[in-house]
Chains A and B, each alone.
Chain A
Amino acid sequence: MTSKRAVDITVKVNGKEHSAAVEPRLLLVHFIREYLGLTGTHIGCDTTNCGACTVLLDGRAVKSCTLFAVQANGRELRTIEGVGNTSALHPLQEGFKEKHGLQCGFCTPGMIMSACALLEKKPHPTEEDIRWGISGNLCRCTGYQNIVKAVQYAAEKMSASAPQA
């Protein structure tokens, strides 16, 4: 099996620059998980359906299983690891905790990344806005009710602490 030329890429991930030489066919999700060791981004279906692989590319929610790592060259990525951590939870992470927005947790990183992008565009989403905003993310456990509540919780918290215009 011939291996095609490797390509040098530099990607800014969660604020930090990473360089690597990768095969063009390396999927972005594999780059994130295997090259960078950021395993919070999950592979659920590998067919662009479930959204467990959702990350933010230059601020836009994308399914990282449907992009090649080379396409992220010179761009900025945000993964779930860049959203918050246990000592400083993002309001979305707090919302999922407070409102029981997860059971197995497999879809959760992707849900949070989509919700992050949604709240950026719509800081005061209606329930319908939220359901549309996460319509690219599948959950087999929760039935989505508490996910919606978690996002509503985060929206309220974020607008309460936002500086007044």
Chain B
Amino acid sequence: MIPKAFDYCRPKSLPEAILLLQQHGDAAKILSGGQSLIPMMKMRLAQPEYLIDINQISGLDYIKEEEGYLKIGALTREADLEASDLIRSKYPLILDTAFSIADPQVRNLATVGGNLAHGDPANDHPATMLALNAEVIATGPEGQRSIPIKDFFVSLFTTALLPNEILSEIRIPIPPTGSGGAYFKLERKVGDFATVGVAAQVTVDANGTCQQAGIGLTNVGGTPIKAKKAEEFLRGKALDDGNISQAASLAADDAHPSSDLRGPAEYKISMVRELTKRALTKALNRASQAH
């Protein structure tokens, strides 16, 4: 399958890329990993006239802790997350998520920034970033601004990024001690998009009482979903089986999947309930080990 013809630019800096976006407006698309965009272009579901390849811009791939945040540069590849000792040791939720995306070849190119900016509810990082209460840093002609992740996903394939902005960084508040997270993804086969995915991040105090809970849902709506009712329910409660079960039901209430080749809507809603239980249980397990 052949994409529609387009002009190609490869800016060397972020300001240069932003200038190109300003020049071409809606006719331009950013090329990051391309593992979501290029398949769409091959099917002509996306037909940008200008492709702005940002892969040569240096200084956009990093994984570091700074000023109370885990900061991940937008051009960080999924494979880089897998290889990072910091992610492996301190952020198993993010490692779970990266590892669940597509396959090794795709992960060598796919970027965290692209996974979020594409605005596809079937992508995996959105749910995880919702669970972690992340912030998206958008860089535009006026400079940088921070967009809370809960405001970032507007509708199908639409984010809060303005046409002249580039997602440059994801910032995650470093979870306090006693925190743990997990991502569970139900898929028909390895490499598939999620039938259902659930990201859970919890913080418990020394008595096992939940201080904070974050739950994100993948591919069960037009946007990735933050299971707010479940999160609020868990706050201040013990993370015992009964409460986890109830939270799982509340999370399932927030899901509104479509019936498709991956299964009927009712099945997916049941799976949200089941995976939320498993994700919360594993998150709690990891949180307890972290004390």
Q: For residue A51, which residues in chain B have a CB less than 8 angstroms away from its CB?
A: 103, 105
Interface digits, A1-21 against B, CB 8 Å rule (1 contact, 0 not)? Answer: 111110100000000000000
Other-chain contact of A7, B8, B42, B55, B102 (Cβ < 8 Å): B8
Other-chain contact of B34, A61, A67, A118 (Cβ < 8 Å): A67
- The answer to whether A71 touches B55 (Cβ under 8 A) is yes
The CB with the most chain A CB atoms within 10 A, among B5, B41, B190, is that of: B5
Cα A65 to Cα B42 with chains together (Å): 10
Cα A7 to Cα B9 with chains together (Å): 10
Cα A60 to Cα B110 with chains together (Å): 12
- The answer to whether A54 touches B105 (Cβ under 8 A) is yes
- The answer to whether A61 touches B55 (Cβ under 8 A) is no
Cα A65 to Cα B2 with chains together (Å): 10
How many residues on the A side are at the interface (Cβ–Cβ under 8 A)? 34
- The answer to whether B8 touches A135 (Cβ under 8 A) is no
Other-chain contact of A135, B2, B5, B79, B191 (Cβ < 8 Å): B191
Cα A61 to Cα B109 with chains together (Å): 9
- Decide yes or no whether A159 CB sits under 8 A from chain B: no
**Closest CB in chain A relative to B263 CB, distance in Å:** 20
**Closest CB in chain A relative to B81 CB, distance in Å:** 15
Q: For residue A68, which residues in chain B have a CB less than 8 angstroms away from its CB?
A: 8, 34, 38, 51
- Decide yes or no whether A24 CB sits under 8 A from chain B: yes
**Closest CB in chain A relative to B187 CB, distance in Å:** 12
- Decide yes or no whether A63 CB sits under 8 A from chain B: yes
Q: For residue A71, which residues in chain B have a CB less than 8 angstroms away from its CB?
A: 31, 34, 53, 55
- Decide yes or no whether B108 CB sits under 8 A from chain A: yes
Q: For residue A24, which residues in chain B have a CB less than 8 angstroms away from its CB?
A: 5-8, 51
Given A48-B39, A67-B34, residue A136 in contact with residue B4 (CB < 8 A): no
- Decide yes or no whether A35 CB sits under 8 A from chain B: no
Given A25-B3, A47-B39, residue A114 in contact with residue B105 (CB < 8 A): yes
Q: For residue B38, which residues in chain A have a CB less than 8 angstroms away from its CB?
A: 48, 66-68
Contact surface of A with B, Cβ cutoff 8 Å: 1-5, 7, 23-25, 27, 46-49, 51, 54, 60-63, 65-68, 70-71, 73, 114, 117-118, 132-133, 135-136
Q: List 23 A-B contacts (CB under 8 A).
A: A1-B5, A24-B5, A24-B6, A24-B7, A24-B8, A24-B51, A25-B2, A25-B6, A27-B42, A46-B1, A46-B42, A47-B42, A51-B105, A61-B104, A66-B35, A66-B109, A70-B8, A71-B53, A73-B10, A132-B104, A135-B103, A135-B190, A136-B103
